[in-house]
Chains A and B, each alone.
Chain A
Amino acid sequence: MDGTPPPPEATPPPPPPVTSGSPTEFLKNVVGKRVVVRLTSGVDYLGMFFSRLRVLSCLDGYMNIALEQTEEHVNGTVTNRYGDAFIRGNNVLYISAAEPL
């Protein structure tokens, strides 16, 4: 039995990633959009990623965040509003898009 035929159904190669989704890619996509930033304390900040002039001017390597038009939400109720806000990165639990990308 030489010349064995190839296996009838090779497993298809994995599909290419649909969203070219790296964390950086996500962050680039949410610049200028409304986001929810949750802190480890459970407090949420709903605001716009600072988008004046430069892409990713709103984030740095420590995940410090600059937001504008920021609402502070605790247990679902608005507890504060800030025009601009700087959030120290160590407090950040996650960043979530608050509108479709």
Chain B
Amino acid sequence: MDTSSGIQEPFDLIRLSLSERVFVKLRGDRELTGILHAYDGHMNLILSDVEETIMLVDGTEGAPPGHGVVNVAKRKMEMLFVRGDGVILVSPPSRT
């Protein structure tokens, strides 16, 4: 069997990111960065020291793609439970 550094399934990528700052992309044009404390098979997440970034596209619908006015709202939270079904992507810190 592989040892602690082994990646046998995608979830191991998450397991190796525990206690690290991760980037999470969510449905609804939201992104989070925070310290990952726990997760489960649904990808429910417990994060601390979280910053949420919300992308709001304003302006006319007829604007060419990429030229809509994008407003970015940010807010910070100490501790957060993220329901797994909203998660699109989790990216661990780059370890090189």
Contact = CB atoms under 8 A, between A and B. Distances in A.
Given A50-B10, A54-B2, A57-B8, A85 B85 contact: no
Contacts of B92: 83-84, 86
Interface residues of B, number: 26
Contacts of A77: 66
B10 A58 contact: yes
Contacts of A2: none
B96 A57 contact: no
Contacts of A65: 10
24 contacts: A52-B7, A54-B7, A54-B8, A57-B6, A57-B8, A57-B9, A57-B10, A57-B12, A60-B11, A66-B9, A66-B12, A75-B66, A82-B89, A82-B91, A83-B91, A83-B92, A84-B92, A85-B89, A85-B90, A86-B13, A86-B89, A87-B88, A88-B84, A91-B89
